[in-house]
Amino acid sequence: MTTDHTHAEYANTSAVAGLAREVETLRRAIRKAAPVQDAHAVQLHKLAGQLDELAQATARKGPADKVVAPSWLSLPSDADAVAEVLDELLTWLCAVYLRYADAAASLSDCWLWHPEVVEELVWLMHTWIAAYEDENASATAAGDWHDRYRPGVVRRIKTAIGTCSLENHTSPQPAPRVPLVEAAEAIVTWWGTARTAPAPEPTDAHLAAATPAPSTWGNRR
């Protein structure tokens, strides 16, 4: 899906190309005002050529050198879209992720009931694709995947799931909610107009509505 971020992807390309055009214009002006063999004109001509090569190389890369990972947490309410992401993930888990002993040990039977865990795995899968299968895949990216990304995801999954099991999901769990949304108006007024003053005090209604922060999804120890 195209968003305003697409324009940002090409910002560097446009900037380099624009600079190359400016240098070329300046080079032509110097050529008219001084002999071509003038040292400054020669250097400027060389710089114009280097900038043009850089602009072309940047344009060839464009945004295609970035593998975009879909977010499991913000997928559309569409069963086909969800199935497509999950099918790809399940295949990749069997082929790659579960080949690592620590990863296999951290993935409990109830992992599918933890949206934050699925989100981590979808993201990790796409970093692996970027490192190994993308047209701009590199050994450096693969090294990052092994050294930082995969161990980091395994560690966070262990924290998120802990000792949770399928039995903990037999009773319906409420979806998480943003605490005290009703206080947003007071915060907007304070932060937007008088942030150097003390923050507004919570009202009795706020205190009554406050509840302990929930632990991980379905993790009821």
User: Which residues lie below 8 Å from residue 111, measured CB to CB, with a gap of 6+?
Assistant: 117, 118, 121, 157, 161
* Domain locations in the chain as residue ranges: 9-65, 72-169, 179-221
Give the separation between CA 129 and CA 132, rounded to whole angstroms: 5
Contact assessment for residue 111 and residue 105, using Cβ atoms and an 8 Å cutoff: no
Tens digit of each residue's pLDDT, the chain (221 residues): 444 444 444 445 566 666 666 666 766 666 665 555 556 666 666 666 666 666 665 555 444 456 788 999 999 999 999 999 999 999 999 999 999 999 999 999 999 999 999 999 999 999 999 999 998 899 999 999 999 999 999 999 999 998 888 888 888 777 778 888 888 999 999 999 999 999 999 998 888 888 665 554 444 44
Q: Taking CA 21 as the corner, what is the angle to CA 18 and CA 26, rounded to the nearest 5 degrees?
A: 130
- Note the Cα 124 to chain centre separation in Å: 11
Give the separation between CA 164 and CA 170, rounded to whole angstroms: 12
Contact assessment for residue 107 and residue 98, using Cβ atoms and an 8 Å cutoff: yes
User: Comparing C-alpha atoms, which of 4, 19, 218 is closest to residue 109?
Assistant: 218
CA distances from 91 to 129, 172, 183 (A): 13, 28, 44
**Does the reported pTM lie above 0.75?**
no
Query: In the prediction, which pLDDT does 18 show?
Result: 65
